[in-house]
Structure 1
Amino acid sequence: MSQKTLQNYIPALTGVRAMAAYLVFISHFGYIFDDYLPQSVQKFLREFHIGVTIFFVLSGFLIAFRYYDNFSLSKLWFKKYLKNRVARIYPMYAILTSGAFVYYAFTHQQAIVEGLQPVVAFIMNIVFLRGFFDDLKFTGIAQGWSLTVEECFYFSAPFMFYFAKKYGKAWLQPFVITGTGALLVLIFSHINFYGFFGNFTFMMLFTFLGRCFEFFSGMLLALYVRKKGLTRTNNFKFTYLGFALIFACVWLMSVLPILPGNSFGQQHPLGIITNNYLLAIAITVFFYGLITEDGTILKGILSNKFVELLGKSSYIFYLIHLGYMYNMLNTGVNWLNDAVFNLYDKWGVDWVSPFQNEQLNLLYLFITLNGIAILLFKNIEEPLNHYIRQSDFLVKNTPRNLESEAALINR
């Protein structure tokens, strides 16, 4: 594999996005299989939230690989950079978040607003501010809290690059940033303002200040690959080693005691260390294998064209797999189940409904959510991505810029 090929596109890393989104899906709905699984397996599946960490490490890698060598803190460069980030993340987030508040208008589901005025909650969500408040982090689209973390990284990355180039020792930066987070907790933990940096667990698990090491792991991998290249003198399979280490971290979190008031081993102090640091290193090893090795089974699966499509649409899948979209689909499945039994009653038969099994229903919903995600990706996300990148939003585009941006649409 050449350096040029890596710069243009990495199909396996697109497939990884689908894997990450599906792991999060399992962590949210694995409880449906609890009656059939030992408690140890239930706890293991519950820790599949690690998909979020995979997303964070991947973002760190891609942003550093794409921008580290050509970044500038000039106004023009920053506008171009923000334009690309807005095109990639914001349109679907804004559309789907707006959908959540339309859903609230009809259902008054309090989890969407958490006691706030709907207009205030909407503004807090649409500008990503809710992610700084422990009490508000799950408002709107609950899993969207991670987008606040991503956006903080996007805004911070150019300055991280600057300090890394000017002073070296980039590995020190995440500890300085997390130390800043700890200081904020010490200041604000005694101020009851919707949980703004209200406790250390929130800061470490739900804010960029606590989770910055995951992005730095990806960044350092990108810098290492740029410096050393992709040719290795050994045939050691880092892909398999990293994959095994990832699930070793999952197992470690699953056997930790769950503290009172918590739901996951991840929330234990050792779980935080495992999730934010050890897991990030394991994922980095896995990614290093994916980008430097050919012929592994995992890379073949993740590079498959269909898996690649699932990866491209995984951002939408992640945003709709939990919340109002899932709720509406689940209501529809329940309605179908009732309709089937009403039909059986009319026919005078005692047959099994294809929608009465909770586990099968979850499979139907999983497939349907993927279908919706692909349709939205093809017809809304991708066209909007193209349109914004090729528009004069923030900075006027030139023919040369249009040509260079064309290869980056799905980055």
Structure 2
Amino acid sequence: MAAYLVFISHFAYVFDGGFPQIIRRFLGEFHIGVSIFFVLSGFLITFRYYHSFHLTTDWFKQYLKNRVARIYPMYFLLTVAAFVYYFITKDQSITKGSSNPIGLLIMNVTFVRGFFYQYWDTGIAQGWSLTVEECFYFSAPIIFLIAKKYHKFYIQPVIITLFAIVMVFIFRNLNWHGFFGNFTFVMLFTFFGRCFEFFVGVQLARYVLKNGFVRANKISFTYGGFVLIFVCVFVMALQPVVKPWVAGLETPVGIITNNYFLCVMVALFFYGILTEDTIFKKLLARPFVELLGKSSYIFYLIHLGWMYNLIHDNINKLNDYIFTLYDKWGKDWHSPFEYDSLNLLLIFIVLNAVSICLFKLIEEPLNHYIRKSDFLIKYKPRPKGIED
């Protein structure tokens, strides 16, 4: 769901011709998939590790090994492929005009590009969110320690956000490649601005760990949370788009709605999914939907950028070839590839097929290989039936 919402937000312009402006603006705010992902990450990491973490070297090595196995292999391979694509095609969407593509590649594979306004959307543009994610991964054990040992949970996101504000005041006039370059960038594209979303997920997990999945009241959190999520989307769609930004998200009201209200609605929705037996839950539990979910990380990484461009360019070439044939035959026919909306649907299907193949053939085997290797820490087989 999250990955598909982001896909729609990036290609909402396809509907410019036949839809009212408010509908186009509404679809353009479907970037909320990123917020869903951040809240989900906060929940999952906490649910898995909150009661079992020990801040020791071996525990942290095992924890980091598991996080690397899950996130890094496909990101690394697809990022390198993006720069190979750049060297072949000179597509400036990869480097944004940078004169040092090798240095930029290093910044991308190490995630540090996500701290620089000048480089945050280079390489795999949507990969900026992985810098945010990695910051949370490294922070999570400290967050747990402070919450459990010192009973200081709610003050943590306040301190992190204040740190972000201070950093912007320090660096915004230094012009060091946009390092903490402006408030909008920091609040929307760094962990320090978006930490509250993770903390909402953390708190949801803490609540569930304490109270379980059974509840007595009949409030429909699933559908109520779902509706409230899109109320937040509508609020952002009503905001004016301020250049050079492209969405209502990037206004003060948009930032507040996205970073502080939307994530609470997402948590309510998740709580409903966890504790209610609904048709929606049954749909999400179907095997094919589960497969789409497992491959959706790859879909997210390839739905925008070099692979999309490659598929799109070849569809355009095929369309031109078909019209060449029509001219040769003296026919005034329509091409099946002349409609942008149908082409987008075709690309969506192809990208999902590619994602499933890459998941089955590369991501899943690499994940298991790294987890069972001696990378960072020697592999110790777990008792049968126990997984991390």
TM normalised by structure 1 equals: 0.92
Tell me the distance in 1 between the aligned counterparts of 2:317 and 2:92.
23
Q: Does 1:32 align with 2:14?
A: yes
Residue among 301, 311, 325 paired with 2:307: 325
1:400 alignment partner, SS class: coil
**Which amino acid is 1:118 matched to?**
P
- The answer to whether residue 57 in structure 2 is matched with residue 75 in structure 1 is yes
2:329 partner amino acid: W
| Number of aligned positions between the proteins | 387
> In structure 2, how many angstroms separate the alpha carbons of the residues matched to 1:96 and 1:194?
24
Residue 44 in structure 1 maps to residue 26 in structure 2: yes
The CA deviation at 1:402 is 8.1
Equivalent position SS for 2:309 = helix
The reply to whether residue 282 of structure 1 matches residue 265 of structure 2 is yes
Matched, 1:362 2:374: no
Counterpart in 1 of 2:138?
A: 155
Is the CA contact (8 Å cut-off) linking 1:83 and 1:393 kept in structure 2?
A: yes
The 10-residue stretch of structure 1 (259-268 or 146-155) with the greater mean CA deviation from structure 2 = 259-268
Residue 177 of structure 1 aligns with which residue?
160
Q: Please, which of 179, 203, 228 is the counterpart of residue 220 of structure 1?
A: 203
1:232 corresponds in structure 2 to: 215
1:96 corresponds to: 78
Q: 1:204 aligns to what?
A: 187
d(CA) in 1 for partners of 2:46 and 2:80? Answer: 31
The verdict on how the C-alpha distance between 1:267 and 1:401 changes in structure 2, with shifts beyond 3 A counting, is: farther
1:293 aligns with 2:302: no
Pair 260,126 (structure 1): closer, same or farther in 2 beyond 3 Å: closer
Q: Secondary structure, in 3 states, of the residue corresponding to 2:331?
A: coil
- Separation of aligned partners in 1, 2:248 and 2:138: 31
Match of 2:234 among 251, 256, 265: 251
Question: Hey, what does 2:374 align to over in structure 1?
Answer: 392
Secondary structure, in 3 states, of the residue corresponding to 2:374? Answer: coil
Q: Which runs of 5+ in 1 are unaligned?
A: 1-18
The amino acid across from 2:300 in the alignment is Y
For residues 350 and 233 of structure 1, what CA distance do their matches in structure 2 show?
66
Q: Is the 8 A contact 2:161 2:195 kept in 1?
A: yes
Return the alpha-carbon distance in structure 2 between the equivalents of residues 399 and 94 of structure 1: 27
Indicate the structure whose relative CO is greater, using CA pairs within 8 Å and at least 6 residues apart.
Answer: 1
The residue that corresponds to 1:373 in the other structure is 355
Mapped to 2, the partners of 1:202 and 1:344 lie a distance apart of 49
Q: Does 1:193 align with 2:150?
A: no
Q: Which residue in 1 is equivalent to 2:225? A: 242
Segments of structure 2 that go 5 or more residues without pairing to the other structure are none
Cα distance per residue 1:220-275 (max 9 Å; x no partner): 00000000111101121100010001000000011122234332111111110100
TM-superposed CA distance for 1:116, in Å, is 3.9
In the TM superposition, residue 403 of structure 1 has moved relative to its aligned partner by 6.0
Q: After TM superposition, which residue ranges in structure 1, 4 or more long, deviate above 6 angstroms?
A: none
| Superposed displacement of residue 24, structure 1 | 0.3
Backbone CA RMSD of aligned residues:
1.2
| Structure 1: distance between partners of 2:186 and 2:276 | 36
Task: Quickly say closer, same or farther: Cα 1:48–1:28, change in 2 above 3 A.
Answer: same
- 2:364 corresponds to: 382
1:348 to partner: Cα distance: 2.8
2:93·2:305 contact (CA, 8 Å) conserved in 1?
Answer: no
Contact 2:74-2:298 within 8 A present in 1 as well: yes
Percent identity of equivalent pairs: 61
Q: Secondary structure at the match of 1:70?
A: coil
Once residues 229 and 365 of structure 1 are traced to their aligned partners in structure 2, the CA distance between those partners, rounded to angstroms, is: 42
Shift of 1:343: 2.3
Please give the TM-score of this superposition, normalised by the length of structure 2. 0.98
1:171 CA displacement? 1.7
Asked whether the equivalents of residues 390 and 402 of structure 1 are also in contact (C-alpha less than 8 Å), the reply is: no
Q: Residue in 2 aligned with 1:142?
A: 125
Q: CA-to-partner distance for each residue in 1:338-369, whole Å, 9 max, x for gaps?
A: 22222223333222111111110010000000
Partner amino acid for 1:391? S
The answer to whether the 8 Å contact 1:177/1:212 transfers is: yes
**Is 1:268 paired with 2:251?**
yes
What is the CA–CA distance in structure 1 between the aligned matches of 2:9 and 2:85, rounded to whole Å?
24
Secondary structure of residue in 1 paired with 2:51: helix
Specify the code of the residue in structure 1 equivalent to 2:106. Answer: I
Cα distance in 2 for residues equivalent to 1:262 and 1:57: 24
